[in-house]
Amino acid sequence: MLLNAVIIILREVLEAALIISVFLALSQLLNRNLWWMLLALLVGFSGATVYALNLSQISMAMEGTGQEVLNAVLHSVIFISLLIFMISVPHQAHAKWRQLNLVTIVLAVITAIIREGSEIILYITGFFGIPDLLSPVLMGSAVGAGIGLSVGVFFYYLLVNMRTSYGIWLGYLILLLIGGSMVAQAVEFMIQADYIAASAPVWDSSAIISERSAAGQLLYALVGYEATPAPEQAAAYFSSIGLLIVAAGISFMFRGKTS
């Protein structure tokens, strides 16, 4: 039970910790105020609690596909926030772009915490009625959260202690991969809700790296690794990364015109 709890909580915490640490580091490298993070965390946790408490109503909505659709929407919101963030970064000299940039960071962090936090709350509260399993679940959750947060701390200090330009580029790269992962997961939820027809997996790499292994979890959080992705997921993943690169590139080229 402990190992299951570790894997499930690690997966959720690692993803949220990575998004928060990269945004925190980029905010520091771009000389932004960090107090907004506290606000975003508080709003995010409150949102996650509200989501978890109303899960039954959400699940019943849209002919029983409410939860999948809402999760797909949350992932899409994170992706759109990342897209606008990357477009707005080259125009930091302009006050309105700076404001928009801050809004996208706050929105992405709040949404990520609502998504991952609600999963964690649901998982742990599910064991409240089973005293025999609660103790290993709580301990496994503590271990998973500890490992996930530690990795987040290392990423943050790695980025802020690198040369500023390298830190920004590495942060950008991680955000690209997170963006691709978000869209792939949104597509996965739409497949689960039957809004997109399921197809046979493009490949099966579970024999090489299992999704349940520690490496699989880290890769999942880092690059959205799926051992058996549907063709739609793979297409969404690569095209969304391509879109982020093109949008950021165009914005970078036109940076002088708005500043």
Partner 1 sequence: MKSIRLFLLLSLLATITLVNFVALLHGYQSSMEKAQSLFDSRLESTARLIASANSEQTMRQGIAEQQTPFTYFQIWDSGGKQLLTRSRNAPEFVTGALTEGFHEVNFDSYRWRNYVYRDQHLNRWIVVAERIDVRYSLAEEVVLESLLPIVIAIPIAALIIWLAVGIGLKPLRQFADQVLGKRADDLSPIQLEKVPHELVTVVSNTNALLGRLDHAFQREQRFASDAAHELRTPISVLKVHLHNLKQRLGDDDEDITLLKTGIERMGHLVEQILALYRTSPDQASARFESVDLYKLAQTVIASDFLQFERKQQHISLDGETAILSGNRFALETLLQNLLSNANKYTPPGGEIHVIVKPFQDGVQLIVEDSGPGIPADQHERVFERFYRFQGDRHDSGELGCGLGLTIVSHIVELHHATIRLGTSSLGKGLAVTIHFPGEK
CB of 123 to partner 1, least distance (A): 18
Tell me which amino acid residue 10 is.
Answer: L
CB of 147 to partner 1, least distance (A): 5
* Phi-psi group of 194: left, alpha or beta (phi > 0 → left; psi -120 to 50 → alpha; rest → beta): left
Give dist(CA 225, CA 171) in Å, integer: 19
Of 4 and 206, CB closest to partner 1: 4
Give dist(CA 70, CA 83) in Å, integer: 20
CB of 150 to partner 1, least distance (A): 4
Buried b (16+ CB within 10 A) or exposed e, 6-42: bbbbbbbbbbbbbbbbbbbbbbbbeebeeebbeebbe
Of 154 and 238, CB closest to partner 1: 154
Residue ranges binding partner 1 (CB under 8 A)? 1-3, 6, 28, 132, 135-136, 139, 142-143, 146-147, 149-151, 153-154, 157, 160-161
Of 143 and 247, CB closest to partner 1: 143
Residue found under tokens 């509260």: 125
CB of 149 to partner 1, least distance (A): 7
CB of 144 to partner 1, least distance (A): 8
Of 146 and 201, CB closest to partner 1: 146
Half-sphere exposure (CA, 13 Å, Cβ side) for 57? 5
Of 10 and 106, CB closest to partner 1: 10
